[in-house]
Amino acid sequence: MTMTDHVEPTGRALVKAVLIEPLVQDGMKRPKGTNADDYEKWLGKLAERLAYLPRDQLVGLRDLIVRHAVVGKTGATWPDFVMIQKWAYAIQPPPPREHTYAMSLIQSAMGRQALDEGWVVELFHCALKFGPPPGRYVISQLRSEAEDNRRRRERVREWNAVNRANPADAAWLDAWHRDHQLCTALIASKTDDSEGMTE
């Protein structure tokens, strides 16, 4: 590596370099009611929660934070932590394995039922959209969607067998199988944990 090479930071370091440090340097003050120690922990937690975002999304989020900064007598202070996290999720949801709500729903009794009945991938996609746990009406829609997807999987497999599947269909089928494997693994890991606790 030469002196002119630049290593792009990633994860928490990227959040600090692209979002936190520029805002602090521009005068963004700590949230009201936090002392210096709490503020450092607050910034560390923010970097941890946003570590999945790429540079471009962090730049956009930085501008959004500036627009919604709380203006007071001492200057502009950070918006509420939950609001920042909500904006980040709207810009780009976290990857499935970092999406604690989706993982917990899939590992619940509803997730096991959905796996047994064939609509676990559809439940997973619903969970990724941050909706509350689905009620009867949404579950009936997920079951219907799962049936449509089952028929689509059969069609794409038939097209694949005769080399007629287009790239979009093949990519969809691959993504469905990846999500199904992830859901199955999540449920299996929860089952293994539960069995270990009862031994």
pLDDT tens figures, 70-103? 888 778 899 999 999 889 988 887 776 677 888 8
Report the pLDDT value the prediction gives residue 193, as an integer from 0 to 100: 57
**Fold assignment, 11-91:** Helicase, Ruva Protein; domain 3 (1.10.8)
User: Looking at residue 5, what is its pLDDT?
Assistant: 53
Distance CA 65, CA 87 (A): 9
Q: Measuring CA to CA, how many Å separate 85 from each of 47, 50, 92?
A: 11, 8, 10
Q: How confident is the model at residue 199, as a pLDDT?
A: 45
In this prediction, residue 111 carries a pLDDT of: 93
Residue entry with tokens 């993982």: 103
Take residue 149 and report the two structure tokens written for it. Answer: 């997807």
CA separation, residue 147 to residues 127, 142, 171 (Å): 18, 9, 19
DSSP annotation of 53: S
Q: Are 122 and 149 in contact (CB under 8 A)?
A: yes
Residue 9: predicted pLDDT:
77
pTM above 0.95, yes or no: no
Mean pLDDT in consecutive groups of 10 residues from the start of the chain, 199 residues: 60 94 93 88 93 92 92 86 89 77 90 95 86 87 95 93 88 92 88 53
In the chain, domain spans: 11-91, 96-198
DSSP string, 124-179: HHHHHTTPPSP-HHHHHHHHHHHHHHHHHHHHHHHHHHTT---HHHHHHHHHHHHH
Total Cβ atoms within 10 A of residue 103: 20
The residue assigned the tokens 């946003």 is 50
Residue 8 token pair: 């792009």
Task: Tell me the C-alpha distance between 30 and 7, whole Å.
Answer: 29
Tell me what pLDDT residue 197 has: 46
The predicted structure's pLDDT at residue 198? 46
